[in-house]
Amino acid sequence: MRKAALGRTYKHTEETKAKLREARLGVKSSEETRAKLRIIQATRLNHPNPGKEVKVTDINTGETTIYDSSRSAAKELDTNHTTIRNYIKSQKLYRGRYLIGLQSL
């Protein structure tokens, strides 16, 4: 199934986008629904599961930086959190320069 789906794009045509836009035009949520949504947004936790601290050491300068999570480390290193996780597991140098690991308590 994966092979069959590879290369497939699920982009809407401009005509379909216009129809979808028109279908939603003028639809208003009730005040009750809007109040419920406000409550949900106000009580929503941004990060329900706290991340584990990640230690990134630049072997060229010896500088070590501690990040709150793999996502924040990924943002600073201009990559994604999966890459950070993989380098934590492998203990290989990221970009031949950075040693990434979990911060010990």
pTM above threshold 0.85 = no
Q: Which residue has the tokens 């584990």?
A: 52
Rounded to 5, what percent of the chain is helix, strand, coil? 45, 15, 45
Q: Which amino acid is at 60?
A: N
Residue 69, CA distances (Å) to 60, 72, 81 in order: 23, 5, 9
Q: Which residue has the tokens 């005509």?
A: 15
Query: What's the CA angle centered on 76, arms 75 and 78, to 5 degrees?
Result: 65
Kindly report, residue by residue over 25-84, the tens digit of the pLDDT.
Answer: 888 889 999 999 899 888 877 666 677 899 999 999 999 999 999 999 999 999 999 999
